[in-house]
Amino acid sequence: MSRFRARCFIHVIIPLLGLALAQEPVRLTLMVGMTPQELASFRPALEALDAAHPEFVVDLEPVPQQAFAERANVRLASGTLPDVVRMDGLVAQRLIQSGAFLELSGLPGFDAVDLDDYYPGVLAPYRTGDAIWALADTASPTMLFYDRAKFDAAGVAYPTDAWTLEDMRHAAVRLTRDAAGRTPTDAGFDPARVVQWGWNNSLTMYWQRDLVQSLGADWCADELCTTFAATEPDVVAAVQWWADLVQVDHAGLYAPFSGAQTGVPGSAFLAGVAAMGYHGFFAVGQLNAIGNIDYDVAPPLLGVDGRRRASLSLNGYAIAADTKHPREALALLTALTSPDFLAETWGRPGHAVPARRSAAPSVIDPTRPPANQDAVLIAMEAGAVFHPYTPAAFEAYALTLDLFAAMMRGDRPVAEALAEIERVLNETLADDRLP
């Protein structure tokens, strides 16, 4: 009996003790805001990543995207923010300002990250000065989407990557139809009975600075856009251009997303009643899923200064400032933003465009629409996130939304509405201005 006990001790207890005393893998929590489709490709890739990194074990906490801010707020307030957080650019900017995250550039091992591999527009929102607070993983740049069937029916040539805003306007007029099939230039055209619009939008919010810049003016008086100068003559002229698209050419929408004009909430292009428009890359997935629109894409339009401008929606990872395992968290973060992981999880399934040049081409898949997918890469080079994104920025948006709609619809003259908009914005954003 005692010999059995001795053997037990040697062959079982000692090795177990040894295992217990050996390195325990660190438990990291990873909170992500994703759609079910994105989760479906993310989960297996994360498991593989986890298996390849024995120094940590990842607990995944998925959150619905629309409710991400609520979850982040309560976790932040209670000091229980997960170790690594993936969130969209807007939420990230506000959290960065509150000091929720660890400054990355100071962490050991961060110099291994090749920052030059990233597109220019994707790093800026996560930086303050030289400090880097988060790393972008994917982006959705705006591109020009167009409906080939509508273009063919109207006999209009497809957009090219040399198109300017004026080219767009000419085509949009020819692509607008009322219920009787007339275009705005035909006699008897009824603007109240438009069934197809040439362009799926107009100028509806103060974040669309790029649409004004492409016409040679700029309503922001500073780089971070917390001071507005919207009553300069060139700004008024630029805004008037867009208002004319709606009121004179009848080719644009003053209510592009509410459904008031189209009958269906959401984008007019996706509803099949606009011939072309700007959309983020995400629309590719939606259009392919719906499958009833024969569409293609082109790079964003050229401005009067010959520059292309696109806006970016970003997603990125950050590390909680009070994490207990900064080294492992950084290891996880760099693994999640490595080119291979990005290509495998985001690019190839077609969810979003990886924010790194080395991984971005993985999003091009010739086996599915659209045809001209190289436009994505061009758009990424031209992309920039719009400013400002402070809490006051949302309040400013809410307060000026109706003013823009009234301006586009023609209820208020452009110059007068812009003066009011400028006043409201400067007042609301006053606290956000950096000294």
Least separation in angstroms between CB 134 and other proteins: 15
236 vs 218: CA distance, rounded Å: 10
Stretch that binds other proteins, among 16-24, 45-53, 278-286, 378-386 (CB under 8 A): 278-286
Least separation in angstroms between CB 302 and other proteins: 26
Least separation in angstroms between CB 355 and other proteins: 16
- 391 sits near other proteins (criterion: CB under 8 A): yes
- 286 sits near other proteins (criterion: CB under 8 A): yes
Non-local CB neighbours of 340 within 8 Å, separated by 6+ positions: 359
425 vs 299: CA distance, rounded Å: 31
62 vs 88: CA distance, rounded Å: 14
Least separation in angstroms between CB 145 and other proteins: 13
For other proteins, the closer CB: 87 or 235: 87
270 vs 293: CA distance, rounded Å: 8
Q: How far is CA 159 from CA 106, 232, 276, in A?
A: 46, 32, 9
For other proteins, the closer CB: 37 or 185: 37
For other proteins, the closer CB: 29 or 214: 29
For other proteins, the closer CB: 115 or 264: 264
- 48 sits near other proteins (criterion: CB under 8 A): no
Q: How many other C-beta atoms lie within 10 A of the C-beta of residue 102?
A: 20
308 vs 123: CA distance, rounded Å: 19
Of the candidate residues 164, 261, 358, 426, the single one contacting other proteins (CB under 8 A): 261
Residue 420: Cβ-neighbour burial (10 angstroms; 0-12, 13-18, 19+): middle
Q: How far is CA 427 from CA 95, 393, 412, 423, in A?
A: 23, 11, 21, 6
Considering only CA atoms, which of 278, 300, 276 is closest in space to residue 160?
Answer: 300
- 238 sits near other proteins (criterion: CB under 8 A): no
Phi, psi of 201 (to 5 degrees): -155, -165
Q: How many other C-beta atoms lie within 10 A of the C-beta of residue 367?
A: 4
- 263 sits near other proteins (criterion: CB under 8 A): yes
Least separation in angstroms between CB 151 and other proteins: 18
Of the candidate residues 45, 237, 255, 321, the single one contacting other proteins (CB under 8 A): 255
Of the candidate residues 142, 201, 213, 313, the single one contacting other proteins (CB under 8 A): 313
Least separation in angstroms between CB 137 and other proteins: 14
Least separation in angstroms between CB 122 and other proteins: 16
Phi, psi of 139 (to 5 degrees): -145, 160
Specify the pairing of strand 26-33 against strand 84-88.
parallel
- 271 sits near other proteins (criterion: CB under 8 A): yes
Least separation in angstroms between CB 216 and other proteins: 30
Site for other proteins in 165-194 (CB under 8 A): none
Stretch that binds other proteins, among 198-206, 262-270, 294-302, 325-333 (CB under 8 A): 262-270
Least separation in angstroms between CB 63 and other proteins: 8
- 429 sits near other proteins (criterion: CB under 8 A): no
Site for other proteins in 56-95 (CB under 8 A): 59-67, 69-71, 73-74, 76-78, 80, 88, 94-95
Count, residues near other proteins per rule CB under 8 A: 65
- E strand or H helix that includes residue 143: strand 135-147
Least separation in angstroms between CB 385 and other proteins: 14
Site for other proteins in 134-153 (CB under 8 A): 140
Give, as one character, the DSSP assignment of residue 205. Answer: S
Q: How many residues does the chain have?
A: 435
- CA gyration radius for the chain? 26
Least separation in angstroms between CB 357 and other proteins: 23
**Reduced 3-state DSSP string for 54-74:** CCEEEEEEEECHHHHHHHHHH
Beta strands in 219-288 (DSSP E): 274-280
Site for other proteins in 334-353 (CB under 8 A): none
Interface contacts to other proteins, rule CB under 8 A: 29, 33-37, 39-40, 59-67, 69-71, 73-74, 76-78, 80, 88, 94-95, 97-98, 100, 140, 255, 258-268, 270-273, 280, 282-283, 286, 289-292, 313, 391-392, 394-395, 398, 401-402
